[in-house]
Structure 1
Amino acid sequence: MAQALSPEARERQRLYWQEKNRRRRAAKRGGASEPYTLVEIAARDRARCGLCGGRVAMKRVAPHPKAPTIDHVVPVAEGGDDTRANVQLAHFRCNSAKGARGSQQLALIG
């Protein structure tokens, strides 16, 4: 019988698949990709949401509205790259509202 994973191992596994899927989606659309982590982006952005400017609750997990997520400034669906230069930290709520639209389009809607 398989042994259950520890919470830490489960989180590492989740992050691994999340990163792998980001790279796969970018490659599928012909965009560039480079490795990065949520923690690196959060440190760079000083734990502030790139969409609303509010503080991101780094200990929360989606679907909590203030949970940290990676937002692509130019969405991968629109041809954006999966690189550090094209990502920012965002609340789960803000990133979900933005969807696959660019920041400029979001400003026009909101």
Structure 2
Amino acid sequence: MRTPADSPTKTCTQPGCARPLRARGLCPTHYNREYHPTRHKPKQVSCAWCGTIVTRAGGGGRKYGFACSTSCRRALAYGVTPSTSRELVPIKRAPRTDQRPRPARRPRWHVAGVCRVCATPFLSPHLDVTCSAACQAIRDADSRRDHKHRYRARRRGALITPVSPRTIYERDGWTCRLCGRPIDRDADPQSPLAPSLDHIIPLANGGTHEPSNVWTAHRQCNSERANRPFVIVGRAKQRIATLF
């Protein structure tokens, strides 16, 4: 009985090529050269985040589109705005006061940028985007809140665009848009006075997760409103008033 191992393997019909056959008497390389000459040709594409024109090899598409840098790729994947103010700053060695020779060494490079939380200029030996551990903790907390909203929006098939909770709070002046009272910036995240993102058109009613459809609200007011119209009920105003 003849087995598949005993059957001869067909090879490419091009002279000097012994690779296995793919189709029409050609191996994959010669097949692409003959019938798809532009499949892997480099092409000019624009960055899906910042619009910069870059040269990319041909091939399939990307999940989030082409990106020109790691920061733009991270922004597309996680909705984080890439920092355009960071730069590498060389740190020179201090001059010596004696004449002893010392070996040459490459200059140390530090990252100079602006904190994404408090907008304070900083200098760090690492690729940081915040000026301190406290600001990084605030940024991580905002990121967790935004991921929670994005998860809810994905489950309902809603439109999702990058939304920074702290940017929305600053836009609204740290004031609840439901009861009109100020919001405590340092409140415990589980307290009724803590800030939260409220969707103007609730996700349950077909709303989207984008900056134009969210505003700032107390956690208590947001809970009282639920998925009803944005006119807050009177008892929520009374409850918030008793906490000041």
What TM-score does the superposition give when structure 1 sets the normalisation length? 0.78
Aligned residue for 2:207, secondary structure, equals coil
Q: C-alpha root-mean-square deviation of aligned residues, in Å?
A: 2.4
Moved more, 30-39 or 10-19: 10-19
Letter in 2 for 1:28: R
Please point out which of 158, 161, 165 is paired with 1:38.
Answer: 165
**Which structure has the greater CA radius of gyration?**
2
Q: Distance in 2 between matches of 1:94 and 1:78?
A: 18
Distance 1:45 1:9, change over 3 A: closer
Aligned-residue offset at 1:41: 0.6
Within the alignment, does 1:75 sit opposite 2:75 as a pair?
Answer: no
Please point out which of 85, 96, 101 is paired with 2:223.
Answer: 96
Aligned-residue offset at 1:28: 2.1
Q: Distance in 2 between matches of 1:77 and 1:34?
A: 17
Gaps of 5+ in 1: 1-5
Q: Distance in 1 between matches of 2:214 and 2:192?
A: 19
Aligned-residue offset at 1:13: 3.8
Aligned-residue offset at 1:30: 1.9
Give the number of the structure whose residues are more often strand, by fraction. 2
Structure ranking higher on relative contact order (CA contacts 8 Å, 6+ apart): 1
Q: What is residue 20 of structure 1 aligned with on the other side?
A: 147
Aligned-residue offset at 1:56: 0.8
Contact 1:61 1:68 in 2 (8 A): no
Aligned-residue offset at 1:83: 0.6
Contact 2:179 2:221 in 1 (8 A): yes
Q: Deviations over 1:8-31 (max 9, x none)?
A: 655444432322221122122121
Q: Distance in 2 between matches of 1:109 and 1:68?
A: 19
Q: What is residue 55 of structure 1 aligned with on the other side?
A: 182
Q: Deviations over 1:56-89 (max 9, x none)?
A: 1111123222111111111111111011111010
Aligned residue for 1:103, secondary structure, equals coil
Q: Deviations over 1:36-62 (max 9, x none)?
A: 222101111111101011111111123
Q: What is residue 211 of structure 2 aligned with on the other side?
A: 84
Equivalences, count: 104
Q: What is residue 3 of structure 1 aligned with on the other side?
A: none
Aligned residue for 1:80, secondary structure, equals coil
Aligned residue for 1:21, secondary structure, equals helix
What TM-score does the superposition give when structure 2 sets the normalisation length? 0.38
Identity of aligned residues (%): 30
